[in-house]
Amino acid sequence: MATSFGFDRDAVLAAAAKLRSLTAEFDSSRRQTGPSSTTGSGDVDQALKGFTEAAMRHQSGLTIAVGAAADLLNDVVASHAQLDSSLSGQLASNQPPKGKIDE
């Protein structure tokens, strides 16, 4: 019923799945980031280490945010199903009983 209002359940589920896949890619790339190599300069090594640590922190925050967005999309689908069920139940209960004629 709610699809009559333009809700595309499959598109929402596909978007949530793409977001989940993105978080998996983030996690994979974070695991691949190893210790920085030594450049021969203490200042450069320290700067590279700081950059790597900051990038990993930001990536962790982004992973959490993208995961939360995927959860919200899944919640939209669940809420749609509840709304659809509720609306169809209300419409069915408001129908006059079949076979009775008002006199």
Q: Give residue 54's pLDDT.
A: 86
On whether the pTM is more than 0.75, the answer is no
Residue by residue, pLDDT tens for the chain (103 residues) are 555 567 888 999 999 999 999 888 877 776 665 555 677 788 888 888 888 888 888 888 888 899 999 999 999 999 988 888 887 777 756 556 565 555 4
15 Rama class: left (phi>0) / alpha (psi -120 to 50) / beta: alpha
